[in-house]
Amino acid sequence: DWWGLGVVMYEMMCGRLPFYNQDHERLFELILMEEIRFPRTLSPEAKSLLAGLLKKDPKQRLGGGPSDAKEVMEHRFFLSINWQDVVQKKLLPPFKPQVTSEVDTR
């Protein structure tokens, strides 16, 4: 679900949800009617990606066309990503935690 990805990425990049209200009815109104606001610190590429993923009309949403994921992967935000390396699990994580077992959650 590209909308869901957009919400998660927005929260990760901006530190808050794109829409929020404790009253669920009001929250749904905000989602349907309000324009998304972006922090000035966000790069143009990040704004473009989030705006595309969070388009209200699913037919206009990034990834909502016949190319699906390819359209998202080709967005300029991901220009430096080698998707073949991602698929082949060749990328090293920026941080690798030291764990003592498979159930270690520290």
Alpha-carbon span 4 to 86, nearest angstrom: 21
Number of domains in the chain: 1
Specify if 75 maps to a domain: yes
Residue 24: which domain range?
2-87
Specify if 93 maps to a domain: no
- Please write the tens of the pLDDT for every residue from 41-59: 999 999 999 999 999 999 9
Q: Is 65's pLDDT higher than 80?
A: yes
Specify if 72 maps to a domain: yes
Could you tell me if 55 and 27 are in contact, meaning their C-beta atoms sit under 8 angstroms apart? no
The pLDDT of 59-80, averaged and rounded, is 96
The dihedral built from the CA positions of residue 66, 9, 47 and 20, taken in this order, carries a sign that is: positive
Nearest-CA neighbor of 44 among 86, 76, 85, 66? 76
Structure tokens at 97: 């935690």
pTM score, whole prediction: 0.86
pLDDT of residue 96: 87
- The CATH number of residue 51's host domain is 1.10.510.10
pLDDT of residue 39: 96
Specify if 33 maps to a domain: yes
